[in-house]
Chains A and B, each alone.
Chain A
Amino acid sequence: MHKQSIHKFLEERDFVSLLGLCPLVPFDLYWKKSNGKKVLLKSCGDFCQSSELERWISKGLTLESDSSLNEVWLQTGLTKLFHLIEIQSVNLVDQKLILEWRIDFINWLYPTLWEEQSPTNRLDVCFMMGCVFYSLNEEKENLFLSFPQEVQRKNFLTASFATLMALFLGYSDMAFLKEYFTILLFMDYPLCHSMWSESEKSFIKKEWLLPNVEGLVSLDLRKNILNNYKAKGDQAFSYFSKEITHKSLLKYLKWSFARVNGQGTPEELRASELSDIDILTIFLNHSFSYEENLNEIPQGFLVKRLFSVDKDFKELNLNTRVENLIRVAFEKAQELKGGYLEIVGL
């Protein structure tokens, strides 16, 4: 089904066919009735279950989209990513091709993500990454779609941007990235449990914003909540541990409150002891808030804007090394030969 839809999309630029790949609905989806009236099925930014979609299709409904996507951009992006999948689908992968591909990819993305040159917004990025890396089975999809919408949006944003930037950092294995994407979709799994009261939920969100804010709640309550949260995180850990092959990814499920300067809970981590992808995960987990609207932010500068945060935020969440790596990757993309990243420290 996927290949057909891809071909259909590539030939006809029919985005609707791509909906089967990604649950995110990046446009207003209408059902065009026989009498000409349009019924709004899903608005932009909603999430649609694949079973729902199949039902509509099986009923023979004609679906139309009223899209504001940057179609050209999407098309090239998707072709590139599918090309990467092709490269890696042989037994003996030609590493040189991968490294060349990476340079090409970064160069192409430079205008949109690092400069304001073409009108793309986060919706495009999310949709693109979702189409390529989304790989949840039905059970997990149901679980994901049972989350409240704000959580879905935030996690989807986090997942797509994190995978994208992992590509820049040098992690280029598709299987690894797919699992990474999957794990990051469930980073807020503990929050979505029904046991939390409203006040507890608000506390969790504030704790997520700024760690260890004193006076917000009593210490005992805070401990209690964090312990429960941790227990749920452990649950998620065990739930996914059977299916994920790269075991080093599982720990992200427990890192909702993690920070890089040792202030995080329940894991007290230090930036000097973390690897690049760890820091990237922490950074992006905190870069998007729960009230994000996928459409609203003006276009361009997408990744650069992520780095233009205040010092405190950076101290909590980001390492200069990772930031520099990505900067260098972008700024020196044209100069890069051999495809490996240079650590900037001089």
Chain B
Amino acid sequence: MDKKRNIYWNGLIPEELRDLLSNTGSQLTQEDTERDSSMFKFGTGETSNISLEHVDWSKIDSSPQAFINKDLFEWDIPKLIFKRFFAGEGSLGPEEGYKSILLKSNTLKIIDGNAIGYYSDIITAAASELKINPVRVRNFTVTLLTYLDYLKRSDLVSFPIEIDYGLSQDSFFLQVHCENNGVFLENIVDSAKEESINPFDGLVRESLAKTDLLELYTLKSTNKLVITGCWIGNPKYIRNKFYSSLLIHQIDSFQKPISSSGKVVESQPFFNQVLPDLSKISIVEQLPEKYILKENNKQLVNPMLVKRIGQHILKKWEGSNITEIPPDYNSHTLKKDIEDFPGKEMIARLNQSEEVEILKVLKEGLNVLERDIEEVKRQIKPDDYLEGILSSLERVRPEDVLGVGGKLEESQTISGSREDLTEESQRISGSRKDLTEESQTISGSREDLTEESQRINGSREDLTEESQRINGSREDLTEESQRISGSREDLTEESQRINGSREDLTEESQKNTGSSEDLTESVQLIKGENNKEDKTTIKGEANPEKQKVVKIGGNKEALKNEVWDLKRLEVAAKIKEKVSNLQTSSLDNVEIDQYVKSIIVEELGVDQGTSEKLVKALSDNLTNEFVNNGLESANENIKQRIQIEKIQNQLSIRDKQVQKMKALIEGLKKDLAQAKNVQEVSRLKTVESNTDEVEINIHESTHSSVNEESFEELKGKNIEFERELQKIKNENHKLTTDNQLLMRKLKEGIDEVNGIKDSDEDAWVLKQQNENLNAQIEALKKRLSFMYENSKNNKEVSLGVNEVQKLIEDKERFFAEKMKAMEEITTLKADVRERERLLKQKDLDFIKEVEKIKNNPVVDENGSMEAKEKEKENEALKVGLKQLADELKATQLKTKSYEQKVKFLNVQLEKFQARPSNSDSTSASNVDPIMASKLKQSATINARLKDAADKLKNELTDKKAELHKVKQESRAMDLKMKDLEKKLATILKKTAA
């Protein structure tokens, strides 16, 4: 339940109620504001019999209803029931709230509906301890439980029912609750109405009659339906009025389409039908489509148009002395009456809802409509309002202007007008500087007298306008063109006007004629010319279409036109001056009207009344434009949508047809197949059986003929079906393409409505930026909400607009910084690349120069001498190196040979040593001397060889060392060479430079 509520109390507010409400946070009012859907309506019911028809059932879903006998507030249990209700906290366990007062309380559980009588007796017995009429209690219980059992059989409610009842000192209560599967308000309403056929209807009504207070509500969180009844047992409570009190809240209605204004959709078929059997109710989860379509496809009404047509017709009737709308007046007769309305295109485009509104106006008068129009005017922004007035100034006919106040016809004024030209030019220039919008359009054309002269003469468009006006033909497309031009350039903000003007010339004719009517009604003088119009003329050349439409008529009364233009200029300029002076303060449309009136009075010398009329006509004009521009696009959208829905329906129908055809074809195919089989079987039989060929032949022929016929028929049918299928498919295809086209048109229409012309690039850019910012905001919001969800502890995260803005600013800042950094990086990269390139070039140059130096003869003498010496030394060293290397190799070979010899000798020695050991025992004396000598010889040879080898080794090492040294020296010499070469190069450069 909601906690804070506004309670509307109808009648005297009892003191007890105030006490009750003091702690609960609910407020009492005595105003019945229909709009506040959260309001409760309580009434004290002064009638003798309350009936459930007093209940505004349509509103219970959104706001509870109660009809309370104020005497009830004295007693304890009703007080608690109300307290629980007002405070918004309900407990199914009454003992918690009623602790202090209950003397006794019990609970019962009922699981099926078979023992209702027994339990109701128990309850009655408990209630009879107080002086309460037991019949009332018993009847209440029985009817209520029967009703619940009845609901259970339709599965709207589940048992077990839980019953709590209790006694206090003065009163007795009974609370019943059970699981709610699908009880809606409508079920209770049906049971509450008086006229019903079904004997089970009316149970709630009877229950109401038997108790002193009935409370009905549902709990949505746990799906419970709760019904409470209360009886007062104190003898002081006298039921004078024989009605009970009723409190209903929080029961859903399954007619959900409550529109945004809080009003329930008007058509409620449920209430008008007589339900035969509750058990056959199917609960509608969704709205049937037609209700949605009705809501969304309602066409929009232009109140100005309605007003004008209404006035037109009323005038007519005044003329023919009709005071009231005739009883059989319908849209048909309306159309006849309108036939002479100037502005036939307007009438042709009247839609149904507008006709309805017109009929309303004719019945009821213009007052309500005036209110609507005032509201619409309020919606127009002051800037646009001002511009609208100025633009509609131009459309006043000079006839009317010049008819009153003959001063203008004097030629003096014409001459004066020339002088005024300069003034005007000045004025124009002056005024244009003030307002930025205008500055855009004016591009250097100020100082061209020629153009101004055009203005004086009236631009082509001006002339034609007036010429045609003089001719008296009202249905001028030229006027439209001007309006188009006038209106277009006035505003960069209001896309509506621009769009409206662009698309339909016919519309504008309607606007025109309507406005001209306004102005004829009030004879006015208007002077001056609309500066903006000038701009528009300059710019208006952009629209060739309109120019084509322009008829250039004769310049019969060019003079008059001139005067007219001048005066208009003056007035308009003055208005703008005043406005610009006051632009610091916020302008109200009403204030603008005041200023315009005063200026008109000054300039044209007319009285207040006429100026008022003029101003009113001007403002009506601009509201008409304003509304039309908005409505047209919306109406078109709606029409397109309706078309699309129709086509979709058709498509679905076609699809169904196609499916049916397919099914038929399949059936036929099966038959064909069967026929074929039968045919084959019969042929086989004929082949097999040879007895009676004639018969068989006949059989075959007839059978085959039959088969063939049927086969052919089937074929033919098949072909036909296929053809039809193809047709349907083609149509299907066409419908889909049409559908697509319409969708595209819809999108285009929507785009046009939303978009702004390319010529106004600034606005487009602004819009883009706006969209970007919006997208950023949304992204940030999403991020923040995600973060919020994740962090449980941040209970107070509330995204204010400021924070979001900060985030956006931060983002922008970071973005800017990022851009800067990117730029820096690119520049750095470029630098790096350049440097690398330079380096490479330098390397190449160096190499080239080095080569040059090497190849070319050395110029400098000193350097050349040194170089030559160095070269000689180098060569000598190299030669030395080679010699040493050769010697090395030679010595190595020698050592190798010596080593081999040594090995060979060693082997021999071993052999010799071995022999004497073996042959020692036999003949040692004879052999000894020879062997001994030989041994000695070999030993000495060995020793010499070793010495030689040692010497050679030493020589080797020495040579190696020498080699090493020489190599080092050669390296050093190379380095020196290089240094000298570099020096050479520098010296060469110096000499060259």
Chain A residues at the B interface, C-beta cutoff of 8 Å:
92-93, 95-96, 169-173, 176, 214, 219, 246-248, 268-270, 272-278, 319, 321, 325, 338, 340-346
Q: Contact at B221–A268, with CB atoms within 8 Å?
A: yes
Q: Give the complex CA separation of A170 and B114 in angstroms.
A: 16
19 contacts between A and B (CB under 8 A): A93-B114, A171-B109, A171-B160, A172-B109, A173-B111, A248-B178, A268-B221, A270-B221, A270-B222, A272-B90, A275-B224, A276-B109, A276-B162, A277-B160, A321-B96, A342-B104, A342-B105, A343-B95, A345-B96
Query: Given the complex, which residues of A lie within 8 Å of B64, measured CB to CB?
Result: none
Question: Contacting B107 at CB < 8 Å: which of A96, A247, A270, A343?
Answer: A343
Q: Contact at B107–A246, with CB atoms within 8 Å?
A: no
B92 interface contact, C-beta 8 A: yes
Number of chain B residues whose Cβ lies closer than 8 Å to a Cβ of chain A:
42
Contact with A along B693-705 (1 / 0, CB 8 A): 0000000000000
Q: Contact at A346–B102, with CB atoms within 8 Å?
A: yes
B579 interface contact, C-beta 8 A: no
Closest to A169 in B: B109
Known: A171-B111, A341-B107. 12 other contacts (CB 8 A): A95-B119, A96-B118, A172-B109, A246-B159, A247-B158, A248-B158, A272-B92, A274-B92, A276-B109, A340-B122, A342-B106, A346-B99
Q: Contact at B118–A275, with CB atoms within 8 Å?
A: no
Contact with A along B83-95 (1 / 0, CB 8 A): 0000001111101
Closest to A220 in B: B790
Query: Given the complex, which residues of B lie within 8 Å of A269, measured CB to CB?
Result: 221-222
Query: Given the complex, which residues of B lie within 8 Å of A246, measured CB to CB?
Result: 158-160
Q: Contact at A92–B114, with CB atoms within 8 Å?
A: yes
Q: Give the complex CA separation of A319 and B95 in angstroms.
A: 12
Chain B residues at the A interface, C-beta cutoff of 8 Å:
89-93, 95-96, 98-99, 102-109, 111-112, 114-115, 118-119, 122, 155, 158-160, 162, 164, 166, 177-179, 181, 219, 221-222, 224, 789-790, 792
Closest chain A CB from B283 CB (angstroms): 15
| Known A-B contacts A214-B792, A273-B219, A338-B122; A345 and B99 likewise in contact (beta carbons under 8 Å) | yes
Closest chain B CB from A337 CB (angstroms): 11
Q: Contact at A345–B105, with CB atoms within 8 Å?
A: yes
Q: Contact at A319–B109, with CB atoms within 8 Å?
A: no
Query: Given the complex, which residues of A lie within 8 Å of B91, measured CB to CB?
Result: 272-273
Closest chain B CB from A2 CB (angstroms): 23
Closest chain A CB from B151 CB (angstroms): 13
Closest to B117 in A: A95
Query: Given the complex, which residues of A lie within 8 Å of B119, measured CB to CB?
Result: 95
| Known A-B contacts A170-B108, A325-B107; A273 and B222 likewise in contact (beta carbons under 8 Å) | yes
Q: Contact at B160–A273, with CB atoms within 8 Å?
A: no
Question: Contacting A275 at CB < 8 Å: which of B89, B177, B792?
Answer: B177
Question: Which applies to chain B's interface (DSSP): helix, strand, loop or mixed?
Answer: mixed
Closest chain B CB from A265 CB (angstroms): 14
Q: Give the complex CA separation of A247 and B155 in angstroms.
A: 9
Query: Given the complex, which residues of A lie within 8 Å of B109, measured CB to CB?
Result: 169-172, 276
Q: Contact at B115–A95, with CB atoms within 8 Å?
A: yes
Query: Given the complex, which residues of A lie within 8 Å of B166, measured CB to CB?
Result: 343
Q: Give the complex CA separation of A275 and B163 in angstroms.
A: 10
Q: Give the complex CA separation of A269 and B112 in angstroms.
A: 26
Closest to B105 in A: A343
Q: Give the complex CA separation of A170 and B108 in angstroms.
A: 7
Question: Contacting A273 at CB < 8 Å: which of B96, B114, B155, B224?
Answer: B224
Q: Contact at B93–A319, with CB atoms within 8 Å?
A: yes
Q: Contact at A274–B160, with CB atoms within 8 Å?
A: no
Residue picked from B98, B179, B181, B792, most chain A C-beta under 10 Å: B179
Q: Give the complex CA separation of A338 and B118 in angstroms.
A: 11
Q: Give the complex CA separation of A276 and B224 in angstroms.
A: 13
Query: Given the complex, which residues of A lie within 8 Å of B108, measured CB to CB?
Result: 170, 340-341
| Known A-B contacts A340-B107, A343-B107; A278 and B222 likewise in contact (beta carbons under 8 Å) | yes
Q: Contact at A248–B179, with CB atoms within 8 Å?
A: yes
| Known A-B contacts A219-B790, A248-B179, A321-B95; A276 and B111 likewise in contact (beta carbons under 8 Å) | no
Closest to B161 in A: A275
Query: Given the complex, which residues of B lie within 8 Å of A277, measured CB to CB?
Result: 160
Query: Given the complex, which residues of B lie within 8 Å of A92, measured CB to CB?
Result: 114
Q: Give the complex CA separation of A214 and B155 in angstroms.
A: 41
Q: Give the complex CA separation of A88 and B107 in angstroms.
A: 21
Question: Contacting A341 at CB < 8 Å: which of B98, B106, B112?
Answer: B106
Closest chain B CB from A325 CB (angstroms): 7
Q: Contact at B93–A248, with CB atoms within 8 Å?
A: no
Q: Give the complex CA separation of A325 and B108 in angstroms.
A: 11
Q: Give the complex CA separation of A173 and B92 in angstroms.
A: 23
Closest to B98 in A: A345
Query: Given the complex, which residues of A lie within 8 Å of B104, measured CB to CB?
Result: 342
Residue picked from A172, A269, A346, most chain B C-beta under 10 Å: A346
Query: Given the complex, which residues of B lie within 8 Å of A95, measured CB to CB?
Result: 115, 118-119
Q: Contact at B221–A272, with CB atoms within 8 Å?
A: no
Q: Contact at B93–A321, with CB atoms within 8 Å?
A: yes
Query: Given the complex, which residues of A lie within 8 Å of B95, measured CB to CB?
Result: 321, 343-345
Query: Given the complex, which residues of A lie within 8 Å of B115, measured CB to CB?
Result: 93, 95
